[in-house]
């Protein structure tokens, strides 16, 4: 398995290809790998990303079958099932890079900010569970001057939520903590721009 540093370089290169609208030959012909992958997988990166239809990790990073272990959930939140999924891939496949991938104009972030400012009655408890995961990261921003600038508030909230999710993975799992301390596991927070297609690896990158 490749190191976290090598994996991060591959993701950066893939994102550059995506932005330039140039796909790699491996990604274009990845269907040819299907039979080989039926016997097992060895993804080089774990992506915990948002469910937003505009941010498919394999396309954003120009990767093919078997390259990425992708976990998607609204707001790229970290709940026990997401932690367990990351633990599984890191321990089972030896994958040494975890990316928490948020994005600009995240609907889950906007919904949380709206809910905090104007609570709705009888909200679905399932939707509320997502809001409650995002709330601790973004609520403090409402006590700052950002509350007067909705666009800036949303931008800061997206990053605050990414930071919180990445921190949760680093410090909320004994398995992941051990792999970070002794076996080269790296957790990186990143933001995808819907406007440019660029991914900014802004937290914990090498």
Render pLDDT for 71-119 as a digit per residue (tens, 0 to 9).
999 999 999 999 999 999 999 999 999 999 999 999 999 999 999 999 9
Is-above-0.85 flag for pTM?
A: yes
**For the stretch 34-50, what's the b/e string if a residue is b when 16 or more beta carbons lie within 10 angstroms of its beta carbon?**
eeeeeeeeebbbbbbbb
Give ∠ CA 140-146-148 in degrees, rounded to 5.
125
Mean pLDDT of the chain: 94
Structure-block tokens of residue 83:
């932690």
Distance CA 5, CA 60 (A): 19
Give the model's confidence band at 28: pLDDT under 50 very low, under 70 low, under 90 confident, else very high: low
Structure-block tokens of residue 101:
């991938």
- Which pLDDT does position 73 carry in this prediction? 97
Q: Which helix (H) or strand (E) holds 120?
A: none
Structure-block tokens of residue 140:
């403090």
47 φ, ψ (degrees, to nearest 5): -115, 115
Delimit the domains of the chain by residue range. 4-203
Structure-block tokens of residue 144:
């700052």
Estimate to the nearest angstrom the gap between the alpha carbon of 32 and the chain centroid: 27
Distance CA 49, CA 52 (A): 9
Q: Report whether 64 contacts 33 (CB < 8 A).
A: yes
Please check whether the domain covering 4-203 is classified as CATH 3.30.70.2190. no
- Which pLDDT does position 123 carry in this prediction? 83
């Amino acid at each position: 398995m490749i190191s976290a540093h090598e994996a991060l370089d591959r993701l950066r290169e893939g994102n550059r290809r995506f932005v330039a609208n140039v796909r790699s030959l491996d990604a274009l012909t990845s269907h040819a790998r299907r039979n080989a992958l039926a016997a097992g997988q060895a993804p080089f990166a774990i992506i915990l990303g948002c469910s937003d239809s505009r941010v498919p990790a394999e396309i954003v990073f120009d990767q093919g079958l078997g390259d990425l272990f992708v976990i998607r959930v609204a707001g790229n939140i970290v709940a026990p099932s997401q932690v367990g999924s990351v633990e599984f891939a890191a321990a089972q496949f030896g994958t040494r890079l975890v990316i928490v991938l948020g994005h600009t104009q995240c609907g889950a972030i906007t919904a949380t900010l709206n809910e905090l400012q104007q609570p709705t009655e009888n909200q679905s408890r399932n939707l509320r569970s997502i809001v409650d995961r995002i709330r601790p990261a973004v609520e403090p921003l409402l006590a700052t001057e950002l509350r007067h600038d909705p666009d800036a508030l949303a931008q800061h909230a997206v990053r605050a939520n990414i930071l919180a999710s990445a921190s949760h993975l680093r410090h909320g799992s004994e398995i992941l903590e051990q792999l970070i301390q002794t076996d080269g596991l790296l957790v990186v927070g990143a933001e995808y721009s819907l406007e440019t297609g660029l991914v900014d690896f802004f937290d914990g990158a090498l």
